Amino acid sequence: MRENIYNHELNRYGIRSYRGSLPSPTLRLSGDKPDPLSLYPKELNTLGDWIRKTRLDWGITQEQAGVIFGVTECSVTNWELGHSEPEIRYYPMIIEFIGYYPYVPTSDLVERVKAVRIALGLSIEKLAEVLSVDKSSIASWERRQHRPGRKSRQLLLSFLQRQPMCVRGSGCRINKSTSEHLLSGDAAILR
């Protein structure tokens, strides 16, 4: 016959309630600790890979990295696993955390402007405001639907030349070596 592990009681309203507990076995989990090198990404292809590498180099948890970025531990986990990308506004903090912006310099003017925009944490709307152009123009340039005309190219070049000065009020921080890396390019874009 099965032993009844629940106690029947009537509560103050006359309704039967069940109280009881199940036996709790003592469990002990054991195993080898993972090799610290196995936690590192095999290749540094994404921003999440760079975040994970830097975090492990510093010996901090995802929760601690989340405090640095002002996000939850889940956000850092999702970035590292490639499930999501950080919002533009977090890029300046991430770049500062990593130590540089993992961007490959290009001679393409629009790609350089986009890289600087992202590094500074600027949305397309904010960049349009800074440049005094319509946000749909910037969006269509970045999507490769249109190419900027001569006047627009000059405007974009002047934006690149005055970085990071034009957005100091937005609270972003970018070091000199990062800005030089982002602003380097080929003179072919002037044509």
pLDDT digits (tens, 9 = 90+) for 50-98: 999 999 999 999 999 999 999 999 999 999 999 999 999 999 999 899 9
144 falls within a domain? yes
Same domain, 51 and 122: no
Q: Is the pTM of this model over 0.85?
A: no
Same domain, 174 and 114: yes
> CA–CA separation, 119 vs 90, rounded Å?
9
49 falls within a domain? yes
Contact between 160 and 115 (Cβ < 8 Å): no
Amino acid, res. 67: V
Cis peptide preceding 86, ω within 30 of 0 = no
Number of domains in the chain: 2
101 falls within a domain? no
pLDDT in tens, 34-62: 666 678 888 888 889 999 999 999 999 99
Q: What is the CATH number of the domain that holds 68?
A: 1.10.260.40
